[in-house]
Amino acid sequence: MGRTLAQAIIGSHSREVPTVGKICQVKVDFAFANDITAPPAIASFIEMGAEKVFDPERCAILPDHFTPNRDIPSAEQTKKARTFAREQKMLYWEVGRVGVEHAFLPEKGYILPGELVLGADSHTCTGGALGAFSSGVGSTDLAAAWATGESWLMVPPTIRVRFEGHRPPWITGKDMVLALLGKIGVQGARYKALEFHGKALEDLPMDDRFSISNMAVETGAKTGLFVPDQVTLDYVAGRKSRGFTPHYPDEDGEYEKTIDISVEDLEPLVAAPHSPANVKRALEFSRTTIDQVFIGSCTNGRLRDIEMAVGLIKGRKIHQNVRCMVIPASYEVYMEAMRRGYLEILADAGAAICTPTCGPCLGGHMGILAAGEKCVSTSNRNFIGRMGHTESEVYLAGPLVAAASAITGRITDPRELEG
């Protein structure tokens, strides 16, 4: 049998045959951490006696979680990360020039098709949208990758996911991945690779692809891979920071199983508390009033997400009982949204526009929930206490559901506002 995409990429980075279940020593193309995960990685780097990162142009720290610094401890940990990065002459971008790592790095061409990328953050799998084996690791493993440019990976079995049919205009990549989570749950792909296929992907924009790969980890997957196509290559053409070689699965690749999802049959979806797999139709929550909406994060803070939200909000007002936080995922997104007038439309409607940061997604800052409050969030997790008080509730949704809910003050299927 032939190779899946995960096997093909691992095999190209190892001298070993990438059979499923085998632990392979692999070369790493890029390795990064953020302001939370960098300090323990730095401590491990020093403890192991390492002196220099393997390649300063392929090692990075991005301050994005508790930045701009929310308090003294976050300022201290960011200072430690900044100092180490400067000493090592590795990649580091200051607040005002960076963004949420999983949006910023692909934008700047640091994650590319066919590469093997490790990040000290679970949502590193977002890079799989570009056809890269991009996966989250712990800070200790990240430190070893910084020091040696190598790591160890167990070759995962692969689940093929086929999204078939014509995608209706109200169905986004977020709805598609929520549909998958509703089918297989949060353990359905534990330490496996997801490989996405199907007719519905042919015209699916990159921003939606990033949303799908981003939430691969919510199924337990090691990575979530799109096979590089012309959409992928067009995206990276003007962004690449180095040369790259795309890899592809063999026609006779061996998959553990295949899951088929018809996008034509989908309706706007919501993941109710307290699991990303607790997926139901948005219509089923039409009587659920809310206190806050968050449009942003590494899942849905890209330009198309903001554009879709603006399409519904333009000419309307945010409900008087709702706080609407809009946080572009990077300054590229922020500046383009500003040029197009999107930020003015959102501000006129009553939304709060914030600097690029992870912010409320992980209960960091810029939108923490109090006891009893309910939030519709375009982020990726809704565990107990994820965005604040343990008695708050988070409903995950795409930008259209989020925008519609911000206007009505209750969870709303966007088709209700479209006539």
Tens-digit pLDDT profile for residues 219-269: 999 999 999 999 999 999 999 999 999 999 999 999 999 999 999 999 999
In a domain, 266, yes or no: no
Spatial distance between the Cα atoms of 343 and 306, rounded to a whole number of angstroms = 9
99, 330 Cβ separation under 8 angstroms:
yes
- Model confidence at 1: pLDDT above 90: no
* Same domain, yes or no: 279 and 251: no
Given the structure tokens 């797999």, which residue do they identify? 277
In a domain, 267, yes or no: no
* Same domain, yes or no: 344 and 251: no
- CATH number where 327 lies: 3.30.499.10
In a domain, 391, yes or no: yes
Give the number of domains in the chain: 2
Taking residues 194-207, report their average pLDDT: 97
In a domain, 154, yes or no: yes
pTM, entire model? 0.97
Q: CA distances (Å), 259 to each of 6, 90, 211, in order?
A: 17, 41, 18
Q: What is the domain range of residue 82?
A: 5-261
In a domain, 304, yes or no: yes
pLDDT interval class at 419 (50, 70, 90): low
Tens-digit pLDDT profile for residues 4-47: 999 999 999 999 999 999 999 999 999 999 999 999 999 999 99
* Same domain, yes or no: 15 and 116: yes
CA 133 to chain CA centroid, Å, is 14
- Model confidence at 350: pLDDT above 80: yes
